[in-house]
Amino acid sequence: MSAPNQLPTTAPPTYGAPPSAAVVQRIKAQSAQDPNRRKTRDQEGCLNSIANFAPAIPDGTARYIMNRAGVNDPTDMAVRTVNVATQKVMTELFTDMMLVSQMRGRQKPNEVGRRVMTMEDLEQVLRERDVRP
């Protein structure tokens, strides 16, 4: 385990890289060892989907951030679940920003070119979600 103020020493996987077989096996083994867990087909399918998901944020980076936030030694499944949730929120924010940008583009019909998302678009989306930038 690295010191609290140091970055992880292992190189994180590249963006969008599929998880290694070892990580998938470790996640499945950790979830199988939980004595309080009741399995259903839906839960098992969800766990398999999460285990095989290639996150936008590398697991090493998410583990580092979770450690900095006070989560001591999170399981691989917890790290991957946080990754999935984070990516979902980011995707929703970017989709809303794109819609705001499109609406702004319709207000200025004379401009021709590519669409640009601005900080104002992000601020508007965050305000709509009651998040203060």
14 is a domain residue: no
Q: Is residue 45 situated within a structural domain?
A: yes
Q: Is the pLDDT of residue 36 over 80?
A: no
Q: What is the pTM of this model?
A: 0.61
- For the record, the structure tokens of 95 come out as 């989709």
Domain that holds residue 110: 21-128
Number of domains in the chain: 1
Evaluate whether residue 3 is within a structural domain.
Answer: no
Task: Decide if 55 is inside a domain.
Answer: yes
Assigned domain for 133 exists: no
Q: Would residue 84 count as lying in a domain?
A: yes
Contact 115, 107 (CB under 8 A): no
Q: Find the range with the poorest average confidence among 28-32, 42-46, 109-113.
A: 109-113
Q: Tokens standing for 7? A: 């970055």
Instruction: Let me know if residue 103 belongs to a domain.
Output: yes
What are phi and psi for residue 104, nearest 5 degrees? -65, -35
- Is residue 15 in some structural domain? no
Round to whole Å and give the CA distance between 31 and 36. Answer: 10
